[in-house]
Amino acid sequence: MSAWVQVAFAVGGVVAGFPVTAAMAELPNRSGAGVSLAVARDHARAATVPRPRRRRAPVRTTNQGDPWEELLLWGVGVVVAVALYAVSAVAIAVTMFWVAVATLLHVDDIAREHALSIIPSMAPSTLRLLDELDLALRVRNPGVHYVRRSTFLGYRREGATGSSVGARSQIFLSVVPKRGLLQLVFVPPAPMPLPPQVEDIGERGHQGVGTHRCVVRTSDEQQAFMADFDTLIRP
């Protein structure tokens, strides 16, 4: 048993002696004579403790491009931006021009749109009848103005008005849309005989501006109304 213990101590001494020997090898005097204990300890730590490796700072490489290439890219970007702006500006200008022309000549669908805002479920035949009536009124009254109300569409001739009440008083024909017919409300010129299809509504509440009402359901009835009240329709 003592022999094995001696062998173990011998092996341990050899293992432990390697770093000590390495440390002693770096001393000024390998025998250790004339060297202080502090110097020997420092050399032993330096030899046995691994030294941390210093990381090298990454080398920054600068990639300087061709200045003419950058200038060319910048110029292309400017040209594309100007082209897009020009296309948009032209499109907006053309749209505004035709909107102004349509407003000036009343080439639009104001009557149809307003009628649908009042009666969304209007029959297609009634909408076509309204288009015919609107066209006939605009042809006979260049520059006619629309007076839009919540229950009817009024037609007013060109002229200055001081207030909405004045605009209402200048309405010569009111169109009250219904799903399958149009009610035309107006003040007939006097004196004139009234057709049987015209009824007096001056003494009762009604929609539109006027004292009499005529109901039209077909294109023939609409044309008959225009013929009977030509003096009313024309300025």
Residue 143 backbone dihedrals phi, psi, to 5 degrees: 80, 20
Structure tokens, 216: 């039209």
Instruction: State which H helix or E strand residue 90 sits in.
Output: helix 67-105
d(CA 206, CA 185): 9
Q: What is the amino acid identity at position 66?
A: D
How many Cβ atoms sit within 10 Å of the Cβ of residue 140? Answer: 13
pLDDT in tens, 2-22: 555 455 555 555 555 555 555
- Give the model's pLDDT for residue 109: 74
Nearest CA to 149 out of 197, 200, 210 is that of 210
pLDDT in tens, 95-116: 666 555 555 555 557 889 999 9
Tell whether the torsion through CA atoms of 102, 106, 112 and 114 is positive or negative: positive
Quick check: 117 pLDDT over 60? yes
pLDDT in tens, 57-79: 665 555 555 778 888 888 888 88
For residue 191, say if its preceding peptide bond is cis, omega within 30 degrees of 0. yes
pLDDT in tens, 119-157: 999 999 999 999 999 999 998 888 888 999 999 999 998
| 132 or 94: which leads in pLDDT | 132
- Give the model's pLDDT for residue 98: 54
pTM: 0.53
pLDDT in tens, 163-200: 444 556 689 999 999 999 999 999 988 788 899 999 99
d(CA 225, CA 205): 23
CA angle 74, 76, 79 (to 5 degrees): 110
- Give the model's pLDDT for residue 161: 47
Beta strand segments in the chain, E: 145-148, 153-156, 171-177, 182-186, 198-200, 212-216
Q: Which residues sit opposite 147 in a β-bridge?
A: 154
